[in-house]
Amino acid sequence: VFTNKYVFLLSQGIAAATMFMPEKESDLSSTQLRVAFDGDAVLFSDESEIIVKQHGLDTFFEHEKEFENKPLAQGPLKCFLEALGKLQRKFYAKNERMNCPIRTFLVTARSAASSGARVLKTLRSWGLEIDEALFLAGAPKGPLLEKIRPHIFFDDQMFHIEGAKELGTISAHVPYGIGQKYNKGKLTEQPKKK
Protein backbone atom coordinates (compact mmCIF):
# COMPACT_ATOMS: atom_id res chain seq x y z
CA VAL A 1 0.00 0.00 0.00
CA PHE A 2 2.74 2.49 0.96
CA THR A 3 4.80 1.68 -2.13
CA ASN A 4 1.83 2.51 -4.37
CA LYS A 5 1.55 5.93 -2.70
CA TYR A 6 5.25 6.58 -3.30
CA VAL A 7 4.95 5.48 -6.93
CA PHE A 8 2.07 7.97 -7.32
CA LEU A 9 4.11 10.78 -5.72
CA LEU A 10 7.08 10.00 -7.98
CA SER A 11 4.81 10.06 -11.04
CA GLN A 12 3.73 13.58 -9.97
CA GLY A 13 7.36 14.77 -9.79
CA ILE A 14 7.56 14.62 -5.99
CA ALA A 15 10.61 12.95 -4.44
CA ALA A 16 9.49 9.96 -2.38
CA ALA A 17 10.99 6.81 -0.89
CA THR A 18 10.37 4.12 1.72
CA MET A 19 12.87 4.28 4.58
CA PHE A 20 14.50 1.23 6.14
CA MET A 21 16.26 1.39 9.47
CA PRO A 22 19.51 -0.56 9.89
CA GLU A 23 19.81 -3.62 12.07
CA LYS A 24 22.78 -2.10 13.90
CA GLU A 25 23.50 1.47 14.87
CA SER A 26 26.33 3.43 13.32
CA ASP A 27 28.21 6.42 14.62
CA LEU A 28 27.07 9.29 12.42
CA SER A 29 28.46 12.79 12.22
CA SER A 30 26.68 15.30 14.43
CA THR A 31 28.19 18.27 12.57
CA GLN A 32 27.70 17.29 8.94
CA LEU A 33 24.66 15.93 7.08
CA ARG A 34 25.82 13.18 4.71
CA VAL A 35 23.45 12.14 1.92
CA ALA A 36 24.28 9.36 -0.56
CA PHE A 37 22.46 8.76 -3.84
CA ASP A 38 22.49 5.99 -6.40
CA GLY A 39 22.60 7.32 -9.96
CA ASP A 40 20.37 5.52 -12.46
CA ALA A 41 16.65 5.59 -11.56
CA VAL A 42 17.38 7.88 -8.57
CA LEU A 43 19.21 11.05 -9.65
CA PHE A 44 18.94 10.15 -13.34
CA SER A 45 16.22 8.46 -15.36
CA ASP A 46 16.31 4.68 -15.81
CA GLU A 47 17.23 5.02 -19.51
CA SER A 48 20.61 3.31 -19.07
CA GLU A 49 19.21 0.75 -16.63
CA ILE A 50 16.67 -0.30 -19.28
CA ILE A 51 19.47 -0.96 -21.74
CA VAL A 52 21.39 -3.07 -19.21
CA LYS A 53 18.32 -5.14 -18.30
CA GLN A 54 17.07 -5.65 -21.85
CA HIS A 55 20.28 -5.86 -23.88
CA GLY A 56 23.17 -6.55 -21.47
CA LEU A 57 26.33 -4.77 -20.36
CA ASP A 58 28.12 -4.71 -23.73
CA THR A 59 25.24 -2.81 -25.35
CA PHE A 60 25.07 -0.52 -22.30
CA PHE A 61 28.78 0.39 -22.62
CA GLU A 62 28.35 1.07 -26.36
CA HIS A 63 25.28 3.23 -25.66
CA GLU A 64 27.04 5.24 -22.94
CA LYS A 65 30.04 5.86 -25.20
CA GLU A 66 27.82 6.93 -28.10
CA PHE A 67 25.76 9.29 -25.90
CA GLU A 68 28.57 10.42 -23.56
CA ASN A 69 27.92 14.08 -24.36
CA LYS A 70 24.12 13.84 -24.14
CA PRO A 71 22.89 14.48 -20.59
CA LEU A 72 20.78 11.80 -18.96
CA ALA A 73 17.17 12.74 -18.22
CA GLN A 74 16.42 13.64 -14.62
CA GLY A 75 15.36 11.04 -12.10
CA PRO A 76 12.97 11.35 -9.17
CA LEU A 77 15.48 12.71 -6.62
CA LYS A 78 17.24 15.30 -8.78
CA CYS A 79 15.14 18.02 -7.12
CA PHE A 80 16.31 16.92 -3.67
CA LEU A 81 19.97 17.12 -4.75
CA GLU A 82 19.20 20.59 -6.17
CA ALA A 83 17.78 21.69 -2.81
CA LEU A 84 20.87 20.42 -0.98
CA GLY A 85 23.05 22.17 -3.56
CA LYS A 86 21.31 25.51 -2.94
CA LEU A 87 22.03 25.20 0.77
CA GLN A 88 25.66 24.27 0.09
CA ARG A 89 26.15 27.26 -2.24
CA LYS A 90 25.17 29.63 0.58
CA PHE A 91 28.26 28.42 2.46
CA TYR A 92 30.42 28.50 -0.67
CA ALA A 93 29.39 32.13 -1.32
CA LYS A 94 30.73 33.04 2.12
CA ASN A 95 34.01 31.25 1.35
CA GLU A 96 33.02 28.51 3.81
CA ARG A 97 33.23 25.49 1.48
CA MET A 98 35.36 23.51 3.94
CA ASN A 99 32.92 24.22 6.79
CA CYS A 100 29.75 23.33 4.88
CA PRO A 101 27.57 21.08 7.08
CA ILE A 102 26.23 19.16 4.04
CA ARG A 103 28.16 16.55 2.08
CA THR A 104 26.73 14.66 -0.91
CA PHE A 105 27.84 11.35 -2.40
CA LEU A 106 27.06 9.53 -5.62
CA VAL A 107 27.44 5.78 -5.00
CA THR A 108 26.85 3.97 -8.26
CA ALA A 109 27.43 0.48 -9.61
CA ARG A 110 28.68 2.09 -12.84
CA SER A 111 32.33 1.92 -13.78
CA ALA A 112 34.23 5.21 -13.91
CA ALA A 113 36.27 4.10 -16.90
CA SER A 114 33.42 2.92 -19.11
CA SER A 115 30.31 4.86 -18.14
CA GLY A 116 31.20 7.46 -15.53
CA ALA A 117 31.89 10.34 -17.91
CA ARG A 118 28.25 10.66 -18.94
CA VAL A 119 27.14 10.85 -15.30
CA LEU A 120 29.63 13.59 -14.45
CA LYS A 121 28.84 15.54 -17.62
CA THR A 122 25.12 15.29 -16.81
CA LEU A 123 25.61 16.74 -13.33
CA ARG A 124 27.74 19.54 -14.80
CA SER A 125 25.09 20.30 -17.46
CA TRP A 126 22.50 20.63 -14.68
CA GLY A 127 24.78 23.00 -12.75
CA LEU A 128 24.95 20.55 -9.86
CA GLU A 129 27.93 19.42 -7.83
CA ILE A 130 28.41 16.23 -5.89
CA ASP A 131 31.11 16.16 -3.23
CA GLU A 132 32.25 12.61 -3.94
CA ALA A 133 31.41 10.36 -6.88
CA LEU A 134 32.15 6.70 -6.19
CA PHE A 135 32.03 4.30 -9.14
CA LEU A 136 31.95 0.72 -7.87
CA ALA A 137 32.00 -1.21 -11.17
CA GLY A 138 29.35 -3.63 -9.90
CA ALA A 139 30.78 -4.15 -6.39
CA PRO A 140 28.35 -4.20 -3.43
CA LYS A 141 27.53 -0.77 -2.05
CA GLY A 142 27.07 -1.73 1.62
CA PRO A 143 30.77 -1.96 2.60
CA LEU A 144 31.57 1.45 1.08
CA LEU A 145 28.52 3.02 2.70
CA GLU A 146 29.66 1.60 6.03
CA LYS A 147 32.90 3.56 5.58
CA ILE A 148 31.44 6.92 4.46
CA ARG A 149 28.55 6.70 6.98
CA PRO A 150 25.82 8.71 5.30
CA HIS A 151 22.78 9.68 7.34
CA ILE A 152 20.66 8.30 4.49
CA PHE A 153 21.24 6.43 1.23
CA PHE A 154 18.76 6.44 -1.68
CA ASP A 155 18.63 3.55 -4.19
CA ASP A 156 16.04 2.04 -6.51
CA GLN A 157 17.10 -1.59 -6.01
CA MET A 158 16.18 -3.50 -2.87
CA PHE A 159 19.36 -5.59 -3.21
CA HIS A 160 21.45 -2.48 -2.49
CA ILE A 161 19.05 -1.24 0.18
CA GLU A 162 19.29 -4.56 2.04
CA GLY A 163 23.09 -4.62 1.79
CA ALA A 164 23.38 -1.08 3.12
CA LYS A 165 20.86 -1.70 5.90
CA GLU A 166 22.70 -4.84 7.08
CA LEU A 167 25.88 -2.80 7.53
CA GLY A 168 24.29 0.04 9.48
CA THR A 169 23.09 2.57 6.89
CA ILE A 170 19.61 4.09 6.97
CA SER A 171 18.38 3.39 3.46
CA ALA A 172 15.52 4.69 1.36
CA HIS A 173 14.04 2.66 -1.48
CA VAL A 174 12.94 4.78 -4.45
CA PRO A 175 10.29 2.66 -6.24
CA TYR A 176 11.03 4.00 -9.71
CA GLY A 177 12.06 2.56 -13.05
CA ILE A 178 12.64 -0.79 -14.67
CA GLY A 179 14.61 -2.09 -11.66
CA GLN A 180 11.28 -2.61 -9.87
CA LYS A 181 10.55 -5.51 -12.24
CA TYR A 182 13.71 -7.37 -11.18
CA ASN A 183 14.91 -9.08 -8.01
CA LYS A 184 18.60 -9.95 -7.70
CA GLY A 185 19.01 -9.59 -11.46
CA LYS A 186 16.11 -11.86 -12.39
CA LEU A 187 12.94 -10.64 -14.10
CA THR A 188 10.00 -11.01 -11.70
CA GLU A 189 7.31 -9.46 -13.89
CA GLN A 190 6.87 -10.84 -17.37
CA PRO A 191 6.23 -8.34 -20.18
CA LYS A 192 2.58 -8.01 -21.17
CA LYS A 193 1.68 -9.74 -24.42
CA LYS A 194 0.14 -7.60 -27.14
Among 49, 34, 42, residue whose Cα is nearest residue 10: 42
d(CA 57, CA 104): 27
The answer to whether 181 touches 187, Cβ cutoff 8 Å, is yes
- Helix (H) or strand (E) holding 166, with range, is helix 158-166
Q: Which of 38, 40, 155, 156 is catalytic?
A: 38
Half-sphere exposure of 71 (CA within 13 A, CB side): 13
Residue 105 DSSP SS3: strand
d(CA 10, CA 22): 24
Residues in Cβ contact with 190 at an 8 Å cutoff, skipping those fewer than 6 apart? none
The answer to whether 6 touches 122, Cβ cutoff 8 Å, is no
Tell me whether residue 38 is one of the annotated catalytic residues: yes
Residue 188 DSSP SS3: coil
Catalytic (active-site) positions: 38
